[in-house]
Structure 1
Amino acid sequence: MAEAWPASRSLMLVLHDVAPETWPDYQPFVEAVDTLGGVPMTWLVVPDFHQRNLLLRSPTFCRLLDRRLAQGDELALHGYYHADNSPPPRTPGDYFMRRIYTHEGEFYGLDQQQALQRLERGLALFHQQGWPVAGFVAPAWLMSEGTRQALRRLPLRYTSTPQHLYRLPDFTAIEAPGLVWSARSAWRRGLSRVLCDWQCHRWRNAETLRLGLHPVDMRHRSSRDYWLNTLRSLLAQGREPLTKSAWLDRKASA
């Protein structure tokens, strides 16, 4: 007997670490996606990537983001610096998360006031540019309890982790499994391909799938082609491409 699929299945194409510095990595891929037609994307925008890429100093790139919004894409806040500049870790667990797992967990160690100040700075930049913003995604998906409390105080609609979207301010969890590669080395890319193929099979009946892309993925043909081919395959299976906000709106009205 054939397996039953949900009546409506979707996908979300999400570009992480969006900044003037990373646009040359993404540009060929975005142009290839645009040729498919009708595939909106969620761009996770970093206001000052690694403290060397302030968006307001790149008016050409800001105009590009204006055009993407006009085409139906979504911009979400993705940290402020996307770099962990908190005091050095003091415990083995923190050392693992902040020095081995990632060096970019900007919101992992912030208290509520620190997180709130950084979030408000990011939202102010979006407001200054006239960009609507409904979502915040922490770099490396790492959030301290202080960050969670800060998010409850802001007019944002959602945040996310690798397998869930959360409605704010109450952090209502909604299952939304995500695929992601670790593309920094050949062995990581090989393992990522195997893992994502398995996950695609495991979640073939899922209501939605998120494709979480990073600039480093675009620097290697194997990972770049994987994402484009996976996107084409999921579209051919009848999945509807949606931004995160559009998908949440759909859920709310269901």
Structure 2
Amino acid sequence: MLSRGRKETPSTPKRGVHFHINLLPEVRGLSIGKVLFDTFLDRMGELGEKSVFGQVISKEERRTERMFARYGFRLTDRREVTKFREQRKDPVYLFTLVQERDRTPPPRPPRLILSLHDFHPGSRHQIEEQMQFCLSRCPGHLSILVVPHYHHEISVEDSKESLEFLNKCQDEGHDLAIHGFFHDRQGLPAASRFWTQWYSANEAEFFSLPPSEAAKRITAAKELWVRQGWRARGFVAPGWLYSSSLDRDLGEMGFRYTCTLRDVIHFPQGKKERAWAGTYSLRSTWRRALARAWHPLWKFRCGQEPVVRLSLHPKDLEVPFVRRQLGVFLDELADRGYRSWSYADHVES
């Protein structure tokens, strides 16, 4: 019996994925089997599998090779099952059916994740100009990183012009992200001189911020978004500096993403996507000199990736060499098929 069983079992592909579907009698013939199988094939394609096979009993005119061919299968081996000879006059066969179909999703078009930092009432005109400058060259959508109460001065909510502009941006499909709350360290205890002063000029609001205070500020910002009818899908800490323990809290608060200088973090999956942000630091003469040399290096290293990140600050376009570099780069990206994406659209696609 064992020897006959091996001989009467048709061969199978070495690298194929085996499928097996059983349907209850009441749902047979209702196209459910095809839906299940197509779903299975699509999932295998996503996983990189290009060949699947099954083994099917065929007798008389039931489950013929021609029937399976209509669904893209080909018969690769057939063996008679001799144990049925005493019960049936017609032979009963066991088929191996193979479908080799590449259902791998097509490559995703390249995208530029474009973010404009530090929106507040005093930077509205600069942000407007940046939007026009960037999207006229590489069309699409972008993220505007809004500071609710920039440097403890006038609140976004107290500026009619700012609210009108941001409402218009959201209506056009742009992403309004929460960018800290005050964007400064006023009233906070001293911390690392390097990160809080040299690196961020006392703007690293969430660097070493106690968790309870961080949650309080983020909650206050979310309440502002709710009052204005904005979608709070992302939180980005000023200077990208914050404690990694905050990630869990952000996910629990319903955010879809945050990011660091080098990673985009997708919530709730917890996925970290490496994508270094292209950004400028222009506060002093020596920083400008460094930025002039740094941009070509970053462009060479990161500007060819399928996902490119570009993060601009309000005064960037006021520096002539930055304006020239960005204009050339954006034109090049558009010529290579890139479109601008917001963080929110990127992580939700």
TM-score range, shorter chain: 0.7 to 0.9
Instruction: Look up the match of 2:196.
Output: 98
Structure 1 residues not aligned, in runs of 5+: 1-5
Which residue among 116, 124, 132 is the counterpart of 1:31? 132
Paired residues for 1:50-199 under 5 Å: 50-89=151-190, 94-102=192-200, 103-145=202-244, 147-169=246-268, 171-199=270-298
Alignment pair present for 1:222 and 2:294? no
Determine the structure 2 residue equivalent to 1:21: 122
Task: Give the aligned residue type for 1:138.
Answer: A
Instruction: Give me the whole-angstrom Cα distance separating, in 2, the residues matched to 1:13 and 1:233.
Output: 15
Structure 1 residue 39 displacement after superposition: 2.7
| Separation of aligned partners in 1, 2:149 and 2:120 | 8
The 3-state SS of whatever aligns with 1:215 is: coil
Report the AA paired with residue 207 of structure 1.
P
1:87 to 1:71, Cα distance in 2 relative to 1, 3 A: closer
Q: Look up the match of 1:41.
A: 142
2:197 and 2:337 map into 1 onto residues whose CA distance is 41
Partner AA of 1:229 in structure 2: V
Q: Following the alignment from structure 2 to structure 1, what is the Cα–Cα distance between the partners of residues 108 and 253?
A: 34
Moved more, 235-244 or 113-122: 235-244
Report the residue type matching 1:95 in the other structure. R
Deviations along 1:152-173, one digit per CA (max 9) or x if unpaired, are 4311111000111112346421
CA distance, structure 1, for counterparts of residue 134 and residue 143 of structure 2: 13
Query: Given that residues 112 and 145 in structure 1 are in contact (C-alpha distance below 8 angstroms), is that contact kept between their aligned partners in structure 2?
Result: no
Q: Kindly name which structure, 1 or 2, has the bigger radius of gyration based on alpha carbons.
A: 2
Give the aligned residue type for 1:167: H
Instruction: State the one-letter code of the partner of 1:45.
Output: V
Q: Deviations over 1:118-141 (max 9, x none)?
A: 000001001110011210000000
> CA separation in 2, counterparts of 1:243 and 1:87?
32
Mapped to 1, the partners of 2:333 and 2:224 lie a distance apart of 35
Partner residue, 1:3: none
Deviations 1:48-103 (A, max 9, x none): 0111030111012111111111112111000000111253325xxx1221122221
Q: Do the aligned residues in 1 keep the contact of 2:185 with 2:205 (CA within 8 Å)? A: yes
Distance of 2:289 and 2:189 partners within structure 1: 33
Aligned to 2:82: none
The whole-number CA distance in structure 2 between the counterparts of 1:146 and 1:14 is 24
Does structure 1 retain, via aligned residues, the 8 Å contact 2:138–2:330? no
Length, aligned pairs only? 242
Q: Which moved more, 1:20-29 or 1:144-153?
A: 144-153
Question: What is the distance in 2 between the residues matched to 1:235 and 1:110?
Answer: 40
The CA distance in 1 between the partners of 2:244 and 2:303, in whole Å, is 33
Contact kept? 1:15, 1:212, Cα under 8 Å: yes
> Structure 2: which 5+ residue stretches go unaligned?
1-106
For 1:241, the equivalent position in structure 2 comes to 340
Q: When the two structures are superposed, what TM-score results if normalisation uses the length of structure 2?
A: 0.65
Higher relative contact order (CA 8 A, sep 6+): 1
**Paired AA for residue 52 in structure 1:** E
CA deviation map 1:174-233 (0-9, x unaligned): 122210111123332232132121111112441211111001213322223322332222
> CA offset at residue 248 of structure 1?
1.3
- Percent identity between matched residues is 28
Letter in 2 for 1:81: F
Q: Distance in 2 between matches of 1:145 and 1:175?
A: 16
With 51-60 and 117-126 compared, the bigger mean Cα shift is at: 51-60
Cα distance between partner residues in 1 of 2:133 and 2:304: 27
CA contact (8 A) 1:134 1:156 kept: yes
TM-score calculated relative to the size of structure 1: 0.87
| Structure with a larger share of its residues in helix | 1
Deviation at 1:41, TM superposition (A): 1.5
